Amino acid sequence: MTERSALVPVVSALAGSRVLVVGDVMLDRFVTGTVERISPEAPIPVLKVDDETAMLGGAGNVVRNLTALGAHAAFVAVVGDDEAAAGVRQLVDALNDIEVSLVTAAGRRTSIKTRFLAGTQQMLRADSETVASLAPDHRRAVIDAATELMADCAVVILSDYGKGVLGDGVAEELIAAAKTAGKTVVVDPKGRDYARYRGADVVTPNRIELAEASGCPVVDAATADIGARALIDALGFGAVLATLGADGMVLVPAASEPTILPVEAREVFDVSGAGDTIVATFAAALAAGVGYGQAAALASVAAGIVVGKVGTAVAYADDVVHALHHQDLSSAEAKVLSLAPALDRVETWRRRGLKVGFTNGCFDLLHPGHVSLLAQAREACDRLIVGLNSDASVTRLKAAGRPIQTEAARAAVLASLATVDIVVIFADDTPLDLIKSLRPDVLVKGADYAVDEVVGAAEVQGWGGRVVLAQLEPGHSTTETISRIAE
């Protein structure tokens, strides 16, 4: 069994891991649009805004990555009493399998990072936040909540973004409490002084952070090893997992030789949040019972996936399994996605200026009529998503005894076609909710419908998209085929 294939069962084991995250939560906002002119008021571009989205950032992005991998997460953070805090709470509530304690600090601004993008180019980032130590009562609330939640967790992550939540002795108290409880502590550090992380099991600095904290120049894996051992000797860390950008990562355990992990990315599109993915994957793997070496290898694979996406993205468990099998994202199995990873993929396409199309159906027994419809749909767009009715949905729409093939079989056949880029199975009788979530630029249906009869047509046209009615191939019908077989 190769080293990579040995990691596949580790991904499955992540579903049983339990990890506590304590740190600085942020609200990451993305304002996207196009630039067509320069402002007459000043020599600056004018961004015509097309869309605004928000997601959890900072320690919140670590939690997002944990839940995407299937791990159980507990989360302690501090927010203000403001609109951004409401946004953070709403996004946290939407996550699966998570216990949360968000401490409200009146007068403190919830951290917001707003990025303005024209296509794939970031034009400006605007930050609104409070950077200060916590008031005594808020400090106590964080420590108490974290100490209670860590009882059911194997690993504690301290996600320090330098906003003050882990300052003023909070990190030290949490590390001491975790060690007393027999928990593994992984720290994503900030700043030059790592003394507050003394005794942590693992710290995960990047190249610049490692150089600043150790006082040693870090230009490659060999110099990273020197800097890491300086920190280990001074502060009693069990290991240092350093990220070195294009040079990959290096794992430096206290009692053994370093391990160099190469870059796993096929294409680097956006490095935002890659460090969060690394610490989340590494910690989840440790919580699942694997050693530092395998945990770091898995984290490297997950980071390679994330930098190929846009924004503060996450690596889903299925993404990691596909990567471990050396499967390209165009392979059939990797095309069958649930809604969340499909939205990630669509966002990446949009940032690249690609037009997204959508069609749907039962596709029970694939015939030339289906093939023609899909080919026409793909011609109308750059990337095509097929919404596939679930087995239960087909039975309600057609009759008992249908579908002939299971949803898994139907999805596999569709995904094997070059004209299809994503297959998403939906359980409703109509794909309306799916269409609203994906917001395709082109909606395709057979010409046996009128435009006003097509589910989602009004919505797609409402956000500037168009509806295409594909010509049908005469003489092809799944129902008729089934009847002929029966006869």
Furthest-apart CA atoms within the chain: distance in Å = 82
Those residues whose C-beta lies under 8 Å from the C-beta of residue 6, and which sit 6 or more positions away, are 294
Residue numbers annotated as active site: 276
Give me 421's structure tokens. Answer: 């880029």
Helix 207-214, helix 221-235: angle, nearest 10 = 50
Give me 463's structure tokens. Answer: 């956000």
What's the CA gap between 316 and 306, in Å, rounded? 9
Residues in the chain: 487
Q: Is-contact 67 55, C-beta < 8 A?
A: no
| Burial class of residue 193, CB neighbours in 10 A (0-12, 13-18, 19+) | exposed
Reduced to 3 states (helix: H, G, I; strand: E, B; else coil), residue 108 is coil
Tokens 């005894």 -> residue: 401
Distance of CA 61 to the CA centre of its chain: 8
Helix 274-287, helix 59-68: angle, nearest 10 = 50
Helices (H), 71-220: 83-93, 136-149, 170-180, 207-214
Those residues whose C-beta lies under 8 Å from the C-beta of residue 85, and which sit 6 or more positions away, are 79, 102, 104, 110
